[in-house]
Amino acid sequence: MPEKPNVLLISTDHWPASLLGCAGHPAIQTPTLDQLAANGTRFTNTYAECPVCIPARRTLMTGTTPRTHGDRVFQETLPMPDLPTMAETFKGAGYQTYAVGKLHVYPQRNRIGFDDVILDEEGRQIYGVVDDYELFLGDQGYAGRFFEHGMSNNEYSYRPWFLPEETHATNWAANQMCRVIKRRDPEKPAFWYLSFRHPHPPLLPMQSYMDLYRDMGVEIDMPHTGAWTQEENPCFSLQVDFDRGSKFSTEQIRGARLAFYALCTQIDHQLRVIIGTLREEGLLDNTIICFTSDHGDMLGNHNMWAKRLFYENSANIPMLLMGVKGDKRVGHHRIDDRLVGWQDVMPTLLDLADIEIPDTVDGISMVGEEKREWFYGEVDEGPRATRMIHDGRYKLIYYGTGNRRLLFDLKEDPNELVDLSESIEHVDILEKLIERLISQLYGEDESWIQDGVLVGVKDQPFKPGPNRSLTSMRGAHWPPPPASGMPQIEWYSADE
Distance CA 308, CA 48 (A): 10
Cβ-proximal residues to 412 (8 Å cutoff; 6+ apart), any chain = none
Amino acid sitting at position 321: L
Instruction: Determine contact, residues 398/404, Cβ cutoff 8 Å.
Output: yes
DSSP secondary structure code for residue 87 in this structure: H
Evaluate whether 372 touches 364 at the Cβ level (below 8 Å): yes
Per residue in 94-151, pLDDT tens? 999 999 999 999 999 999 999 999 999 998 988 889 999 999 999 999 999 999 999 9
Burial class of residue 238, CB neighbours in 10 A (0-12, 13-18, 19+): buried
Q: 437-463 pLDDT, tens per residue?
A: 999 999 999 999 999 999 999 999 999
Per-residue pLDDT tens for 367-415? 999 999 999 999 999 999 999 999 999 999 999 999 999 999 999 999 9
Cβ atoms 18, 316 nearer than 8 A: yes
The answer to whether the beta carbons of residues 103 and 117 sit under 8 Å apart is yes
Q: Is the pTM of this model over 0.85?
A: yes
d(CA 479, CA 405): 49
Q: What is the mean pLDDT of residues 310-326?
A: 98
Assign 3-state DSSP to the chain and report helix, strand, coil percentages, each to 5: 35, 15, 50
**Whole-number Å distance between alpha carbons of 329 and 318:** 19
How many C-beta neighbours within 10 Å does residue 339 have?
18
**pLDDT at residue 485 in the model:** 45
The pLDDT value recorded for residue 428 is 98
Q: Measuring CA to CA, which residue among 78, 81, 50, 56 is closest to residue 68?
A: 81
**Type of residue at 149:** H
What is the share, in percent, of the chain residues with pLDDT greater than 90? 90
Strands 319-322 and 287-293: antiparallel
Higher pLDDT, 37 or 486: 37
Amino acid at 375: F
CA dihedral 401, 378, 120, 283 (to 10 degrees): -160
How far from each other are the two terminal CA atoms of the chain, in whole angstroms? 42
Cβ-proximal residues to 25 (8 Å cutoff; 6+ apart), any chain: 18, 19, 221
The DSSP line for 376-396 is: EEEE--GGG-EEEEE-SSEEE
Interhelix angle 31-38/250-280, nearest 10 degrees: 60
CB within 8 A of 226, min separation 6: which ones?
A: 302, 415, 416, 417, 418, 419
* Other CB atoms within 10 A of residue 423 CB: 13
6-373+468-491 maps to CATH 3.40.720.10 = yes
> DSSP for 262-301?
HHHHHHHHHHHHHHHHHHHTT-GGGEEEEEEES----TTG
In this predicted model, what pLDDT tens digit does every residue of 277-290 receive, in sequence order? 999 999 999 999 99
**What pLDDT is stored for residue 465 in this prediction?**
87
Q: Which helix (H) or strand (E) holds 317?
A: none
